């Protein structure tokens, strides 16, 4: 059955090496086909989280009457 690399999309056959990275948004590890793809996916995840953190830091409070 094999797997598909989450980073580059290449489909690998059974018996191929796989490099798993942990994803904080999922209980399942993410499969990548190489150390390079794994590192790129980690950097992508870091950028997404940094954007979320910055968005939280810049939240404007809205005062209203309930």
Number of continuous H segments (helices) and E segments (strands) in the chain = 1, 4
CA-closest candidate to residue 19, choices 33, 8, 9, 36: 33
Per-domain residue ranges of the chain: 3-57
The gap between the terminal CA atoms of the chain, to the nearest Å, is: 56
- pTM here is 0.78
Q: Rounded to whole angstroms, how far apart are CA atoms 18 and 7?
A: 12
The pLDDT of residue 33 is: 97
pLDDT in tens, 2-51: 999 999 999 999 999 999 999 887 889 999 999 999 999 999 999 999 99
């Amino acid at each position: 059955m094999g797997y598909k690399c989450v980073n580059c999309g290449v489909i690998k056959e059974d018996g191929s090496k796989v490099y798993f990275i942990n994803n904080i948004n999922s209980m399942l590890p993410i499969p990548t086909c190489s150390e390079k793809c794994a590192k790129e996916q980690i950097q992508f995840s870091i950028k997404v989280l940094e954007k979320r953190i910055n968005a939280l830091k810049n939240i404007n409070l809205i005062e209203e009457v309930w």
